[in-house]
Chains A and B, each alone.
Chain A
Amino acid sequence: MRLLAIVVTFVALNARGLAQQTTDASVKSAHEQFVSDIHSQKGLTCVSCHQGIDKPGKSNDYTIRRSEIPALCGSCHADAGKMKQYGPSLRTDQLEQYKTSVHGIKFAHGDTHVAVCTDCHTTHSIRPASDPHASTHPLNVAATCKRCHSDREYMKPYGIATDQFAGYIDSVHYKALVESGDLSAPTCTTCHGSHGAAPPGVAAVTNVCATCHVLQGKFFEESPHKQAFAKLELPSCVTCHEGHRIHHPDDDFVGTGKSAVCATCHIASEPAGQMADGAHNSFHHFETEMVSTKSLLDRASRAGMDVADAEMELTQANDALAKARVSLHSAQPARVAADLEEGAKVIARAHEAGTSALKERDSRRKAIVLPVIALAGLFVTAALYIRALEKRER
Chain B
Amino acid sequence: MSGPEIVRQWIDERVDLREMFAPLMEKTVPRHRFSHWYLLGGVTLFLFGVQVCTGLLLLLYYRPSMNEAYESVQYITNRVAFGWLVRSVHAWSADLMIFMAFAHMFSVAFLRAYRKPRELTWMSGMVLLFLCLGFGFSGYLLPWNTLSFFATKVGTEVPGRMPVIGHATLLFMRGGEDVGAATLARFFSLHVVVLPAITASMILLHLLLVQKFGMSVPPSVEKEGPRFGSKVKFFPNYFLRDVMTWSVALMVLLVLAVTFPVELGKKADPFGSAPAGIRPEWYFLSQFQTLRLLPATILHIDGEVIGALAFGLAGALWVGLPLLEGRLGRNGSRWARISVLGALVYLASTTLYAYFTT
Residues of A at under 8 Å CB distance from B?
301-304, 306, 364-365, 367-368, 371-372, 375-376, 378-379, 382-383, 385-386, 389-390
Contacts and interface: CB of A to CB of B under 8 A. Distances in A.
B104 to A, nearest CB: 21
Nearest to B241: A386
Given A302-B263, A375-B251, A382 B240 contact: yes
B88 A382 contact: no
Contact of B247 (A301, A375, A385, A389): A375
Closest 7 CB pairs of A and B: A304-B261, A306-B78, A368-B258, A375-B247, A379-B247, A378-B247, A375-B251
25 contacts: A304-B84, A304-B88, A304-B262, A304-B263, A306-B74, A306-B77, A306-B78, A364-B258, A365-B258, A365-B259, A368-B254, A368-B258, A372-B251, A372-B254, A372-B255, A375-B247, A375-B251, A376-B251, A378-B247, A382-B241, A382-B243, A382-B244, A386-B240, A386-B241, A389-B236
Contacts of A306: 74, 77-78
B251 A383 contact: no
Given A304-B88, A389-B236, A378 B262 contact: no
B244 to A, nearest CB: 5
Contacts of A304: 77, 84, 88, 261-264
A315 to B, nearest CB: 15
Contacts of B261: 303-304
A304 B73 CA distance: 12
Interface in B247-288: 247-248, 250-251, 254-255, 258-259, 261-264
Given A303-B261, A304-B263, A378-B244, 8 more contacts: A306-B74, A364-B84, A364-B85, A378-B243, A379-B247, A379-B248, A379-B251, A389-B237
A346 to B, nearest CB: 22
A390 B263 contact: no
Nearest to A366: B258
Contacts of A383: 244
Residue among A306, A365, A386 having the largest count of chain B Cβ atoms under 10 Å: A386
A382 B74 CA distance: 39
Interface of B: 74, 77-78, 84-85, 88, 232, 236-237, 240-241, 243-244, 247-248, 250-251, 254-255, 258-259, 261-264
Contacts of B74: 306
A377 to B, nearest CB: 9
The listed residue with most B CB atoms (<10 A of its CB), out of A304, A364, A379, is A304
Contacts of A389: 236-237, 240
A372 B244 CA distance: 13
A379 B259 CA distance: 22
A210 B244 CA distance: 76
Nearest to A302: B263
Contacts of A390: 232, 237
A365 B261 CA distance: 10
B237 A368 contact: no
Nearest to B238: A386
Contacts of A379: 244, 247-248, 251
Nearest to B262: A304
A217 to B, nearest CB: 38
A394 to B, nearest CB: 10
Given A371-B254, A378-B247, A301 B241 contact: no
B263 A375 contact: no
A173 B214 CA distance: 79
A384 to B, nearest CB: 10
Nearest to A376: B251
Nearest to A360: B84
A25 to B, nearest CB: 47
Contacts of B251: 372, 375-376, 379
Contacts of A367: 258
A375 B244 CA distance: 9
A389 B243 CA distance: 15
A304 B87 CA distance: 11
A379 B240 CA distance: 9
Nearest to B78: A306
A302 B264 CA distance: 9
Contacts of A365: 258-259
B84 A375 contact: no
A382 B241 CA distance: 7
Contacts of B259: 365
Contacts of A382: 240-241, 243-244, 247
B120 to A, nearest CB: 32
A312 B192 CA distance: 35
Contacts of A372: 251, 254-255
Nearest to B261: A304
B247 A386 contact: no
A306 B79 CA distance: 10
Contacts of A386: 237, 240-241, 244
A382 B245 CA distance: 10
A52 B117 CA distance: 107
Nearest to B248: A379
Nearest to A389: B237
Contacts of B254: 368, 371-372, 375
Contacts of B263: 301-302, 304
A382 B78 CA distance: 37
Nearest to A368: B258
A388 to B, nearest CB: 11
